Amino acid sequence: MPAPQKRPRFRDRNNVLARPEFMSLNQPVASQQEPRTFNRKPSVPAGNNSTDNARERRQSQQLPEEDCMQLNPSFKGIAWNSLVAIDICMSKRLGVCANSASSWGSARSMVKLIGLTSHGFPWIGGTLVCLWKSSTLAGQEVLMNLLLALMLDILTVAGVQKLIKRRAPYEMTPSILDYLLLDVYAFPAGHASRATMVSKFFLNHLVLAIPLRILLVLWAFVVGLSRIMIGRHHISDVLGGFVIGYLQFNLVEVLWLSSNTCQMLTSLW
């Protein structure tokens, strides 16, 4: 009896399929793998198969759009996604002062200072001081309409930003002043819209020399560029701010307050 037992052991030792790492090859292959389902009953009558299939078909049709794959997107969708990708890529490349570790990180404080020249608080405060010290009706008229334009800019930018809720290209926490002016999101760029509106306002209602007029236009452009360099806005956010600022100026021109109206408003306080 011992001799017959040694032969099978010797054959099992030489058999490759008997090794532990190849034991799965000796298992029989299942003819059909059943899909894993939860709470499935072991046996379902044949008459309920059609109702289950119909219920699964209805559930698959009710999936949200973000869970569905668009196998044939439209040309408009492809073009829009391409433009958004280019906008994000170029904005990140131009964000050279986004943090201290960036390529131009040492100039971040100076670039932020350029953006502060178009902040809402300095402009509103300066306009109120000038309006309080103004003694001419023409000056009060211009300053009162400028104050109206600044308030309109803050409300418009805050409303559009709250509606779109676009994030900045870099993860940045807005400052306390941004929270007070409701300038939290990226689109549109409030500093760019304000700089465009103010520069256009001064060009139309103040008599300035040609060098000063050129400096006003360059100032509005540099303010928008500085917001991209510090990583606060995308390129499209700044361009949208330029457009909104120009439209706001045209609206203020349509709603221009007369000298009598401005004198009545200033007499209230």
Q: DSSP letters along 136-154, please?
A: SHHHHHHHHHHHHHHHHHH
Which tops the pLDDT comparison, 201 or 260? 201
Cβ–Cβ < 8 Å for 166, 237: yes
Instruction: State what percent of residues in the chain have pLDDT above 90.
Output: 30
Average predicted confidence (pLDDT) for the chain: 78
Quick check: is 192 in a domain?
Answer: yes
Give yes or no: 205 in active site.
Answer: no
Q: Is the pLDDT of residue 7 over 90?
A: no
For residue 122, being part of any structural domain is answered with yes
Q: With 90 as the cut, is the pLDDT of residue 193 above it?
A: yes
- Active-site position among 119, 205, 233, 234: 233
Domain carrying residue 167: 108-267
Specify whether 233 is catalytic: yes
**Who has greater pLDDT, 175 or 27?**
175
Residue 137 resides in a domain: yes
Helical residues (DSSP H) of 117-209, grouped into ranges: 120-133, 137-164, 176-180, 190-205
The pLDDT of residue 32 is: 47
Residue 11: inside a domain, yes or no? no
Integer angstrom CA distances of residue 144 from 155, 210, 213: 17, 26, 22
pLDDT of residue 260: 84
The pLDDT of 163-183, averaged and rounded, is 78
Do the domain assignments include residue 13? no
Is 249 part of any domain? yes
In a domain, 8, yes or no: no
Angle, vertex CA 148, rays to CA 147 and CA 150, nearest 5: 65
pLDDT at 63: 47
Alpha-carbon gap, residue 241 to 157, rounded angstroms: 8
Q: Decide if pLDDT at 26 tops 80.
A: no
Q: Which of 119, 191, 205, 234 is catalytic?
A: 191
Q: Are the beta carbons of 142 and 205 closer than 8 angstroms?
A: yes
Look at residue 259 and tell me if it is in a domain: yes
Query: Count of domains in the chain?
Result: 1
Pick the residue with more confidence: 96 or 213? 213
pLDDT bracket for residue 99 (50, 70, 90)? confident
Band (pLDDT 50/70/90 cuts) for residue 17 is low
* Encoded tokens for 157: 């930018």
